[in-house]
Structure 1
């Protein structure tokens, strides 16, 4: 058990030190959602009228509505960036040595997943602090009640990145896959507009939004920020986490037979 904890603490600490050292990564994590909050929200405020929908008890400005979606966007980008670094580490970095250690591979992947989720939570709370300076007021208890949900959504989105990175050996290929995952996941969700507006324009797009795990992650964060629990969204997020973790474990588990598994031992 001591060896398990040492590996967990070391991987999490290494990811935090890397995040602190990479100031550009921290600034980009804040600039991206702040542009949506301050620029796009100002343009869409008059075009997108919002009705009273849970968890809101009254009409809200558009910039208040998109805050949970922007929190999810931070975690989505961080999950992909963390997995992008894993592609590099697996070939020539520290993870190449860790994956050959006596510790179970599932524990090493979980440690890497938890480290990415912790970094994404720090980024989210930094964004919420900056948003509060611009007049985005949230219930004080919402900052605390959102913590376990942010951990869950961070693990789910990080597991998605791990599942994608398991079958990719080159950084260039993974960067292309990121664009095919991040933007459809973000725009086909309730991050920028309520699902009932999407349903009015296209029933097909509405169906795709309801099947999108990122939609349920955003809704879970939205309710948690107001001290409420969306059980349906939490259930879908947990189910997606289980599926993505299973795919990541399958992809990172070497198989003796070349026809089995998503990756083989070289």
Structure 2
């Protein structure tokens, strides 16, 4: 068990040092959702009214509604950003060196995934602290109960980036794929609009949003912030995380995946 723990600590510490050395990444991760909160939400405040739907027990402002979606945005962008660094590490050779460790490949990739998710959660809590200063606050218990939801959602979104990175050879190609994946996942979800609003526009659009794993990750976070449990969102998010992690493990298999093709 000790070698497993040592590798976990080493990988987390490496990611933490990299993150500390990239302060601009931390600032950029906060500016993006704050712009959406201050500018985008202000424009839609009067146009979009939200009825009383779970987990809300009363009428809620649009700014309050989109906060969980913006937390998901941070996890999504950071998950992709971390996977972008994985592609860079593979080009530089450090990823190949990591995978030659005698420890199981699944543990090495999971450690990397957990390290990036931990950093993402730190950024989400910083964002929630800023929103509290902005006037959007939750119960103290909500800030605690949302931690498992952030961890599960972060692992799922990080696994998505990990799966993509296992099949993309070049750094430039991955940067393009990131935008192709991030924006449809974000906009075709409940991050900005509730699903019943989507249904009013188009049943097909509603069904696409309902099948989007990011929607369920956002709803898991939304309910957790109010101290409530959403079993459906949990099952969807965990199921997507397991499938994506399995794809990543297959892609990084030296016998058939990207490592073999690079060799």
TM-score, length-normalised on structure 1? 0.96
Summarize the alignment of residues 113-262 of structure 1 with structure 2, pairs less than 5 Å apart: 113-255=113-255, 260-261=256-257
CA distance in 2, matches of 1:232, 1:261: 33
Number of matched pairs: 262
Unpaired runs of 5+ residues, structure 2, are none
RMSD between aligned alpha carbons? Answer: 1.0
Please report how far the alpha carbon of residue 262 of structure 1 lies from its aligned counterpart in structure 2 after TM superposition: 5.9
Compute the displacement of 1:263 (Å).
Answer: 5.3
| Per-residue deviation, residues 106-146 of structure 1 (Å, max 9, x unmatched) | 11100000001100100000000011100011111100000
8 Å CA contact 2:141–2:227 kept in 1: the answer is yes
Residue 96 of structure 2 contacts residue 259 of structure 2 at CA under 8 Å; is this kept in 1? no
Query: Could you give the per-residue CA deviations for residues 190-245 of structure 1, whole angstroms, max 9, x where no partner exists?
Result: 00010001001011111100110000000000000000000000000000011001
Cα drift, residue 97 of structure 1: 1.1
Deviation readout 1:4-31 (Å, 9 max, x if unpaired): 1111100011111111111100000100
CA distance in 1, matches of 2:168, 2:259: 9
CA distance in 1, matches of 2:65, 2:249: 36
- CA shift at 1:261, angstroms? 4.6
Cα distance per residue 1:60-92 (max 9 Å; x no partner): 110000000000000000000000000011221
Unaligned runs of 5+ in 1: none
Structure 1 position 101, deviation (Å): 1.7
1:264 aligns to 2:260 (yes or no): yes
Report the Cα offset of residue 93 of structure 1: 4.7
* 3-state SS in 1 of match to 2:49: coil
CA distance in 2, matches of 1:12, 1:93: 19
Residue aligning to 2:37: 37
Please give the per-residue CA displacement for 1:161-181, whole angstroms capped at 9, x wherever unaligned.
000000011010000100110
Q: Does the 8 Å CA contact 1:254/1:261 hold for their aligned counterparts? A: yes
TM-score (norm 2): 0.97
1:111 corresponding residue in structure 2 = 111
